[in-house]
Amino acid sequence: MEPTTLVVNCGSSSLKLALFDRKDQKLATVLVERLNTPHAVARIQGLETQITIPAEGGYEAALQAVLAALKEEGLMTSDPTAVGHRVVHGGETFREAVLVDDDVLESIQACSGLAPLHNPVNLAGIEAMRKLYPTVPQIAVFDTAFHQTLPPRAYRYALPDHYYRQWAVRRYGFHGTSHYYMTREAARRLDRTPATTSLISAHLGNGCSITAIRDGNSVDTSMGLTPLEGLVMGTRSGDVDPGLFDYLSTKGITANQLSKVLNQESGLLGLSGQTNDMRTLCDLADHGHEPSRLAVDVFCFRLAKYIGAMMASLSQLDALVFTGGIGENSSRIRQQTCSHLGLLGFDLDAELNHAHGGFSDGIISNPDSRFPVIVIPTNEELVIANEATRLAGSPMARDGAQ
C-alpha cells in the first residue's frame, strides 16, 4: 500500500482536504462549504458527485463523511500515514512544524487569543482527526512559524514595553507557509540553495502580504499582530492611521464596528464600492469606472511602497517574487506595481510578463533588469504535506507520540 499524507485546512465555514502520495503528487482535493449549517456540501475536485455532510456532529462527522467518500471513489485506498494540519497562529511558541501531542494542543489553545476566529477551528480539526486515526501521526504547520526569525527591530511596535511583555503585542506575520515555499522554489529556479537566497516575496490573493527573506530567513513582513496590517487586500484595509480610532469614535463608530469595517468592508471592496475581486475590478476600470481604477491604483502604489521598504532589510536581492491569485495571474498588476519602482530597478519584459499567468511560471523581467522578477504559483498544501511526511518519519513519531 503506497503511503499517503493528508492535508487538512479547517476553517469556520469551510474545510479543505488534500491527499498526497510520497512523490508529491496530489491524489485528491475535497472542499466542504457552508460547514456547520444544515446546507453543508462537499465536492471532490474533478468529480460531479456531491457528498452530503451531516448537519450534526461538527468537524468529526464532516471529516468522516468526506473520508468515506474518498474511499468509495477509490481515491484513498488505505488510511493516511501522516496528517498535516494548517494552524494559523503559533505565537512565539512555534518556530517550526511540530508533531501533535497533548502539550502541543494546549499551546495552540493558548495562542487562540491571538487568532480567536482561526485557532479554535484548527484545533477542532486536529482533535477530530486524532479520534478518527488515533495511531496516525498528526502534524501542525503554522502560518506564523516562518516569521519567527524576524529581528526585534522588525517585530516590535513602538508601544509601551509591557504591551509586548504582558500581552504579546508584536508583529507575527502570516502566509509563512507560502513565503517559505517561494524561498524554496525561487532558490531552485535560481540554482541556489534556500540558505543563500534573498528575496522579496509578494503573496497577493484575497489576503495580501509581502516578506523580505534574507539568506532563507524571514526578516521583515507586512502583516502584523493580525493579518489586517500592511498591503491593501480584498476586503481588508491594510495600514491606516491609528488615529482613525479616536477620530471615528467622535462620529459614533464603536471599536467593534470599525473592526468589522476594516476587515470586511475596506480594501478593494471599500474603495471601489463594487467588489473585492481583482479581475472584475480591472474590467470595471477598463470600462471607465473611476472608483475601481482608484482601487487598483491604491493597491499597486501601496505594494510598490512596501517593496521599497523591504529593501531596508536586505544586503542582496536575488529576485522579487509574485504569487497568489493576483500575483500569479495579473500581468497588469505586476506591471503597474513595477512601474513605480524605476529608481530601484525592477524592469519587466512586457512579453514575458504577459505570457506568464495562469498555471505557468518563470522569470518576467528584462535580462538587463537590476533584479530578476519571477512568478511562482504557490503551493501551501504541498509544504504542509512535506512537513507532515518528514515529521511522521521522525524517531519521536515512530516512538508513538501523536
Beta bridge partner(s), residue 10: 15
Looking at the Cβ atoms of 14 and 64, the one nearer to ligand ADP is 14
Given a contact cutoff of 8 angstroms between Cβ atoms, the answer to whether 90 and 102 are in contact is no
Near ligand ADP in 325-344, by CB under 6 A: 325-326, 329-330
Counting contacts by CB under 6 A, is residue 99 touching ligand ADP? Answer: no
Q: At what angle do helices 278-286 and 331-338 cross, to 10 degrees?
A: 70
Looking at the Cβ atoms of 194 and 325, the one nearer to ligand ADP is 325
Contacts with ligand ADP by CB under 6 A: the residue count is 13
Between vectors from CA 235 to CA 252 and to CA 339, what angle results, nearest 5°? Answer: 120
E strands, 215-257, are: 217-221
Name the residue type at position 343: L
Burial group, residue 70, by CB count within 10 angstroms (0-12, 13-18, 19+) = buried
For residue 43, give the nearest of 79, 69, 81, 64 by alpha carbon: 69
Counting contacts by CB under 6 A, is residue 279 touching ligand ADP? Answer: yes
Take residue 282 and report the three cell numbers written for it: 480591472
Looking at the Cβ atoms of 224 and 234, the one nearer to ligand ADP is 234
> Is 143 part of the annotated catalytic residue set?
yes
Counting contacts by CB under 6 A, is residue 271 touching ligand ADP? Answer: no
For residue 86, give the nearest of 380, 398, 386, 392 by alpha carbon: 380
- Mark the segment that binds ligand ADP (CB under 6 A) among 94-102, 200-208, 216-224, 382-390: 200-208
Catalytic residue chosen out of the listed positions 24, 101, 103, 143: 143
Looking at the Cβ atoms of 90 and 325, the one nearer to ligand ADP is 325
Please, what is the minimum distance in Å from the beta carbon of residue 283 to ligand ADP?
Answer: 9
Please give the radius of gyration of the chain, using alpha carbons only, rounded to the nearest integer.
Answer: 22
Burial group, residue 200, by CB count within 10 angstroms (0-12, 13-18, 19+) = buried
Looking at the Cβ atoms of 270 and 324, the one nearer to ligand ADP is 324
Q: Which residue is nearest to ligand ADP (CB)?
A: 325
DSSP state of 60: H
Beta bridge partner(s), residue 6: 19, 83
DSSP-derived 3-state class of residue 223: coil
- Mark the segment that binds ligand ADP (CB under 6 A) among 107-115, 275-283, 346-354, 367-375: 275-283
Identified binder of ligand ADP from the candidate list 84, 91, 207, 267, rule CB under 6 A = 207
Which residues are known binding-site members for substrate?
86
Which residues are known binding-site members for Mg(2+)?
9, 380
What are the residue numbers of the active site? 143
* Binding site residues, ligand ADP, CB under 6 A: 205-207, 234, 277-279, 282, 324-326, 329-330
Which residues are known binding-site members for ATP?
16, 203-207, 277-279, 325-329
